Structure 1
Amino acid sequence: MAGGRLRRRFKDDDLTDMPDHALVGVVRIPSMQESPGRAISKRVIYALIALFAAVFIVYLDRDGYRDVQDNELSFLDCLYYATVSLSTTGYGDITPYTPSARLINVLVITPLRVMFLIVLVGTTLEVLTERSRQALKIQRWRSKVRNHTVVIGYGTKGKTAVKAMIADGQKPSEIVVVDGDQTVLDNAAAKGLVTVRGDATRSDVLRLAGAQHASAIVVATNRDDTAVLATLTARELAPKAKIVASIREAENTHLIRQSGADSVVVSSETAGRLLGLATSTPTVVQVIEDLLTPDEGFAIAERDIEPEEVGGSPRHLPEIVLGVVRDGKLHRVDDSKVDAIENGDRLLYVRQGLPD
């Protein structure tokens, strides 16, 4: 029964089958947008310019107009006529009767009327245009997205993970955030990240985020059971992706690893160790925090070896080498297996500042 439900979950691809225009509001491709207050102010200014331009033109040619009482038009009459004309109300109590006044109405007042109406309905047009633009962006993005990073959950852990990745040189446009809270997704989009709204334990939501083409997937949910199911779903879709998951309790480590996580971070134990160290050796905690902050001070990094380093000892390099990654496995620098550097090795070392 459980296997059947799981198979139905993976076959539920409703979102990925939807047309791109229907995904507007689910997927959001970030773009630089004008603030609402500034946009409204500009529209009001344009409308007032059109209105007073019409008032000025009518006032200059006021002798060509007459009202129902054949009185000469005052400035207030001109303002009244321009207002009802541009708003297409047109009571007919003031009309142009000379050929020149009628010609000016055709050549000037009518275009101003059109401009005024465009300004009035501009918000609606802008919304429709924005939806079309977003649909086109989604279509292009879905066809090109490859080797990106999917971050599941944009709480404290997710935000910190994204910040670290960006500080380490990854482009915000190459990071896709999946979360069910629209408020946190708005915050992510404001930082230039692609966002997908939905439940990351559903395969169709992760397909929409391009998880099947991702090079890495970060699981940073607030609940361990959600993290396990999201990891299982992600591993089914992306067998070759590197999956890094965070859990709160160490007793769930074996579950998350069985679900397909390559690396597991136990947040409660890590925080507990730092708290314990801070009581006796607070400077050690400062150094650890410095190493975990890639955009300032020292940082832990990984690099390929240089050709001239083959055969040498990792302990004799200029950098402080912490370990050697060989065949996908990390060896500490004091391990006899890595006394000599070999082709294909990668070095885990301490670097200073951002990479060039």
Structure 2
Amino acid sequence: MKPPGEDDIAREPDDHRAGHRAGHRVRLPRKPAKPPVRQVAGRVLLALLLLVVTALIVYADHDGYRDAADGDVGPLDAFYYATVTLSTTGYGDITPVTDTARLISIFLVTPLRVLFLIVLVGTTLEVLTERTREDWRLNRWRSTVRDHTVVVGFGTKGRSAIQTISAQGGNATATRKDRIVVVDSSAKAVDAAAAEGYVGVLGDATHSDVLQRAEAHRARQIIVAPQRDDTAVLVTLTARQLNRTAKIVAAVREEENAPLLKQSGADAVITTASAAGRLLGLSVLSPAAGMVIEDLIHQGSGLDVVERPVTKAEAGRSPRETDDLVVSVVRGHRVLGYDDPAVGTLQLTDRLITIVRASPGARVTPDTRPLPQD
């Protein structure tokens, strides 16, 4: 197996070690939190507002209170009383002496005192509430996730694969953002995935417990796109052991490692180095042809490669007689060229691989879906 190239050294060692120290965590997408300074400033302003409201209530009925020092309760005394009351200090030098003042203390000042204390301990309460809410969201996600897509590696290859399978909105079970789970050993990559709306799992995907946290045993398809070929082999072996029916597509840098990926259980293997080299060579020989291929592999704009079933109206015809530009016919486990004599006429059980004009915003259904791009 080839040693890693320059592109393989794309992860900071500190991030990798941090991932192992932090343990294998699942991060659900969430709205960005307010900056800590804004959170503290908001609590301070709310506390001051409660203090002012309490002081105004006390001063509005200042005749119902008595100051042990001089008997009268002025504005400063009202703020002093509000401060020691809300903070539960209660020196007792200013006291309510009328029934009205006592009722105000019971029904107005006491609730304000409780609210003031909640503001003071708000950080602790927020942490406890957030932890409970996060656990509930995680349990709910685990109980509902099925037939989703697991993407191992959130580097250039992983991001491009996600963009392709969700380019036109996706179908109801596989390509919505909440149906994509990203697994990566880099904390920064997992944070970035969660920020973009995907579920992120932090950990080494060569370990079965990490893939289990991503619910890989329930996934419909698994995309293996790590930085190293040896990692891709181990991840593929682990994923296939967990899930015998999922479609596994893996990427390798070196073509000589592709057969090993096939033996490990990958349904399809994409050789990134040779594919890029072929595109470079084609672009040199024919820049226009290179532009067309580049357009085809960018899903959702220009021309798209789409796999769809044969319609009743097309059954019994040849591939050339369809409205779309047919390039291949999928019959059983065979992929036949449009001009292959074995095709003959189209059958209802066939599927067509066609080139169509991309429709921005169009929704892809399970029967008409873009092909995964290399």
Q: Normalised by the shorter chain, which TM-score bucket?
A: 0.7 to 0.9
Looking at structure 2, the residues matched to 172 and 328 of structure 1 have their Cα atoms a distance apart, in angstroms, of: 30
Range with greater deviation from structure 2 (313-322 or 241-250): 313-322
Looking at structure 1, the residues matched to 188 and 94 of structure 2 have their Cα atoms a distance apart, in angstroms, of: 53
Q: Which residue of structure 2 lines up, in the alignment, with residue 95 of structure 1? A: 95
Report if aligned partners of 1:28, 1:134 keep a CA contact under 8 Å in 2.
no
For residues 104-115 of structure 1, the aligned pairs below 5 Å read 104-115=104-115
Higher helix share: 1
Q: Which residue of structure 1 lines up, in the alignment, with residue 341 of structure 2? A: 336
Q: Which residue of structure 2 lines up, in the alignment, with residue 160 of structure 1? A: 160
Q: Which residue of structure 1 lines up, in the alignment, with residue 319 of structure 2? A: 314
Give per-residue Cα distances to partners, 1:43-89, cap 9 Å, x unaligned.
44433332221121122123333444226334333223322322223
Matched, 1:82 2:87: no
Range with greater deviation from structure 2 (308-317 or 227-236): 308-317
Report if aligned partners of 2:236, 2:248 keep a CA contact under 8 Å in 1.
yes
Identical positions, percent: 51
Q: Which residue of structure 2 lines up, in the alignment, with residue 4 of structure 1? A: none
Matched, 1:179 2:184: yes
Looking at structure 1, the residues matched to 232 and 92 of structure 2 have their Cα atoms a distance apart, in angstroms, of: 70
**What TM-score do you get using the length of structure 2 for normalisation?**
0.82
Report if aligned partners of 2:250, 2:261 keep a CA contact under 8 Å in 1.
yes
Q: Which residue of structure 2 lines up, in the alignment, with residue 26 of structure 1? A: 25
Q: Which residue of structure 2 lines up, in the alignment, with residue 210 of structure 1? A: 215
Aligned residues between the structures: 334
Looking at structure 2, the residues matched to 154 and 237 of structure 1 have their Cα atoms a distance apart, in angstroms, of: 21
**What TM-score do you get using the length of structure 1 for normalisation?**
0.86
Looking at structure 1, the residues matched to 249 and 184 of structure 2 have their Cα atoms a distance apart, in angstroms, of: 17
CA displacement at 1:42 relative to structure 2? 4.6
Report if aligned partners of 1:24, 1:134 keep a CA contact under 8 Å in 2.
no
Matched, 1:224 2:224: no
Looking at structure 1, the residues matched to 354 and 206 of structure 2 have their Cα atoms a distance apart, in angstroms, of: 36
Which letter does structure 2 place at the counterpart of 1:206?
Answer: L
Which letter does structure 2 place at the counterpart of 1:86?
Answer: L
Report if aligned partners of 1:24, 1:131 keep a CA contact under 8 Å in 2.
no
For residues 29-40 of structure 1, the aligned pairs below 5 Å read 29-32=28-31, 35-36=34-35, 40=40
Pick the aligned partner of 1:348 from 350, 353, 356: 353
CA displacement at 1:114 relative to structure 2? 0.6
Which letter does structure 2 place at the counterpart of 1:96?
Answer: P
Q: Secondary structure at the match of 1:309?
A: coil
Q: Secondary structure at the match of 2:295?
A: helix
Q: Secondary structure at the match of 2:342?
A: helix
Which letter does structure 1 place at the counterpart of 2:330?
Answer: V
Looking at structure 2, the residues matched to 94 and 281 of structure 1 have their Cα atoms a distance apart, in angstroms, of: 92
Looking at structure 1, the residues matched to 221 and 100 of structure 2 have their Cα atoms a distance apart, in angstroms, of: 72
Q: Which residue of structure 1 lines up, in the alignment, with residue 118 of structure 2? A: 118
Range with greater deviation from structure 2 (330-339 or 342-351): 330-339
Q: Which residue of structure 2 lines up, in the alignment, with residue 20 of structure 1? A: none
CA displacement at 1:351 relative to structure 2? 1.6
Range with greater deviation from structure 2 (53-62 or 117-126): 117-126
CA displacement at 1:259 relative to structure 2? 0.7
Which letter does structure 2 place at the counterpart of 1:353?
Answer: A
Higher RCO (C-alpha 8 Å, min separation 6): 2
Q: Secondary structure at the match of 1:261?
A: coil
Matched, 1:143 2:143: yes
CA displacement at 1:93 relative to structure 2? 4.0
Give per-residue Cα distances to partners, 1:129-179, cap 9 Å, x unaligned.
222222222223222322111111111111111111111412111111111
RMSD (Å), alpha carbons? 2.4
Which letter does structure 2 place at the counterpart of 1:273?
Answer: R
Q: Which residue of structure 2 lines up, in the alignment, with residue 56 of structure 1? A: 56
Which letter does structure 2 place at the counterpart of 1:113?
Answer: R
Pick the aligned partner of 1:242 from 229, 244, 247: 247
Q: Secondary structure at the match of 1:337?
A: coil
CA displacement at 1:254 relative to structure 2? 1.3
CA displacement at 1:113 relative to structure 2? 0.8
Structure 1: gaps (5+ residues) = 1-22
CA displacement at 1:40 relative to structure 2? 4.9
CA displacement at 1:341 relative to structure 2? 1.3
